[in-house]
Amino acid sequence: PRHFAIVPAAGSGSRMGAEKPKQYLPLLGRPLIHHSLAVLCAAPEIDKVFVVLSVGDAEWARHDWSALGPKLVPLFCGGATRADSVLGGLRAIAGEAAQSDWVLVHDAARPCLAPWHIDKLVRELAHDEVGGLLAVPVADTLKQADGQRRVQRTVPRDSLWQAQTPQMFRYVMLRRALESAHGVTDEASAIEAAGLHPRLIEGDATNLKVTYPLDLHLAEWILQNRDK
């Protein structure tokens, strides 16, 4: 089977409080999204990288993506939610993807994706029936609160993981799952709603999601110190 990456990048990034959508914020002299797109395009396992942009995206054309080579394909078919954007991408590549091809969905907002994250995910899931995702064990003690922020209970954390991306599933399974699921915030939730059990592949905390301004500083530090 082949491996396609889909990168949903049609969000507005309102929690950052910035003028631009966060995928275009400058990070070490390049748009934030450029970093993970470059790693995906350079990965020998990956055949093509589809980036899903909003229909009216005027920013994409203002940057130079030529260094990423011919694997990169922009699709202007983003939807109202992240799941809709991914589904739009899946529908757009229907002519190209076979049912059993793998799709790796990666958040545009995770710029510190490293080659070894992709290697490990693809290698460990190659013969898996369902597919899975990168994740890290939860480190903090978790509290469940009521409406007044009074602790109701402490949630045992030993079996809890934080979901990251890429999330890797077969083309047809992922498309069917997303078409029937509603209100999911990641691909794995859609697969779970279909009664299946994605496998967790242990990643690491460097693959963070940029949500708040502090995350941009952390991402910059991680990228600058990676190859030392």
Give the interface with ligand C5P as residue ranges (CB under 6 A): 8-11, 23, 52, 78-82, 85, 107-109, 209, 211
Min dist. Cβ of residue 122 to ligand C5P (A): 21
Min dist. Cβ of residue 3 to ligand C5P (A): 19
Min dist. Cβ of residue 209 to ligand C5P (A): 6
- Within 10 Å of residue 184's Cβ, how many Cβ atoms? 18
Task: State which residue, 79 or 128, has the beta carbon closest to ligand C5P.
Answer: 79
Task: State which residue, 158 or 166, has the beta carbon closest to ligand C5P.
Answer: 166
Question: Cα(173)–Cα(206) distance, rounded to whole angstroms?
Answer: 29
Of 159, 160, 164, nearest to 132 (Cα)? 164
Min dist. Cβ of residue 80 to ligand C5P (A): 6
Give the pairing of strands 102-105 and 72-76. unpaired
C-beta nearest to ligand C5P: residue: 11
Token pair of 144, please?
């469940």
Of 112, 135, 134, 107, nearest to 11 (Cα)? 107
Task: State which residue, 75 or 191, has the beta carbon closest to ligand C5P.
Answer: 75
